[in-house]
Amino acid sequence: MDPSLPLVSIVTPSFNQGQFLEETLLSVQRQDYPRVEHIVVDGGSSDGSFDIIRRHERRLARWVREPDRGQTDAIAKGFHLATGDIFAWLNSDDLLMPSAVGVVVRELTREPALGLVYGDRIEIDAKGNVLNAVRLPSHRDGMFRRNFTIPQETAFFSRQAYEAVGGVDTGLQFAMDFDLWVRLAAVAPMRHLPVFLGCYRRHGASKSVEMHADGSGQKYSTESEAVYRRHFGSGLPSRRMMFWYRVASKGRLVIERASRDYRRERGRLLAEAEGGS
């Protein structure tokens, strides 16, 4: 293992997702990049997650099992323990693609000024069946004002940028990722990489589904509105505006995917991923 390679710290907040946790851990362990520090922060799961963590503890840099104040608190704890140069968090039901870490390290090393890189996502169900492939156009500075966000499980950012903005806001329960992306964008450039870097799992107990089932959807909407207003000084775009924003984004993606530059960059990234670190 080359100690000169950047160390990547991946934090997994865990709470009662034992059905999927082992796959998540394995997706990190199977990375073809050699310097990964995986930290699991469990909030006191009662579903067998702890047994899974103990079974994999030799492959973990650190693990913590104690009550917390929710997902954002667990993420903040993990990054406080992290010693890497590059940060990411992977929820306990999501997955990384096998070459994801190597791809992002090469890009962040190639252009040290970048504060964050992210990619495309695959949406899967509880059994791992593919539901959807989400491809995105190139990054634009105005995307957050249009209330677009980044596929969280595909995002990797520099420790320097994370610390410069003060880390995740532990007062947020739902919009902490959007809030962090906006603050990071204010201190460093971002780039979208046109390759699949992660899998987002949709299932009955996922946070997005539970928000509708337990009535917390309104809390999510209220928090999202407050975060957006804090950054941009106005309310969220209307549904009509979001519709046209999405149409424009899809149109831009079609044009970009047909371009020689897009095909060249995607081909380069795939070739480098196949070749390894």
Identify which has the larger pLDDT, 68 or 171.
171
**143-187 pLDDT per residue, tens:** 999 999 999 999 999 999 999 999 999 999 999 999 999 999 999
Phi, psi of 190 (to 5 degrees): -125, 155
Average pLDDT of the segment spanning 9-33? 96
**What pLDDT is stored for residue 100 in this prediction?**
98
Average pLDDT of the segment spanning 81-105? 97
**Comparing 21-30, 160-169, 192-201, 266-275, which segment has the lowest mean pLDDT?**
266-275
Average pLDDT of the segment spanning 179-198? 98
Which residue type occupies 210? E
Classify residue 13: in a domain, yes or no: yes
The answer to whether 197 and 187 are in contact (CB under 8 A) is no
Classify residue 67: in a domain, yes or no: yes
CA 221/CA 179 separation, integer angstroms: 14
Average pLDDT of the segment spanning 25-41? 97
Phi, psi of 45 (to 5 degrees): -60, 150
pLDDT-above-70 percentage for the chain: 95
CA 239/CA 245 separation, integer angstroms: 10
How confident is the prediction for the chain on average, in pLDDT? 94
Classify residue 2: in a domain, yes or no: no
**Comparing 41-45, 217-221, 242-246, 263-267, which segment has the lowest mean pLDDT?**
217-221
Beta-carbon count within 10 A of 74 CB: 26
CA 213/CA 209 separation, integer angstroms: 7
Structure tokens at 273: 């991923």
**1: confidence class by pLDDT, cuts 50, 70, 90:** low
Average pLDDT of the segment spanning 204-232? 78
CA 90/CA 42 separation, integer angstroms: 13
pTM exceeds 0.85, yes or no: yes
Classify residue 60: in a domain, yes or no: yes
**What pLDDT is stored for residue 275 in this prediction?**
85
**65: confidence class by pLDDT, cuts 50, 70, 90:** very high
Burial of 270 (0-12, 13-18, 19+ CB in 10 A): middle
Overall domain count for the chain: 1
**What range defines the domain where residue 193 resides?**
8-275
CA 19/CA 126 separation, integer angstroms: 9
**Comparing 33-37, 133-137, 211-215, 219-223, which segment has the lowest mean pLDDT?**
211-215
CATH number at residue 161: 3.90.550.10
**What pLDDT is stored for residue 203 in this prediction?**
83
Classify residue 27: in a domain, yes or no: yes
**121-131 pLDDT per residue, tens:** 999 999 999 99
Q: Looking at the predicted structure, is the pLDDT value of residue 105 above 90?
A: yes
Classify residue 3: in a domain, yes or no: no
Average pLDDT of the segment spanning 53-82? 95
**What pLDDT is stored for residue 69 in this prediction?**
84
Which residue type occupies 111? E
**206: confidence class by pLDDT, cuts 50, 70, 90:** low
Q: Looking at the predicted structure, is the pLDDT value of residue 210 above 70?
A: no
3-state helix, strand, coil in the chain (%, to 5): 45, 20, 35
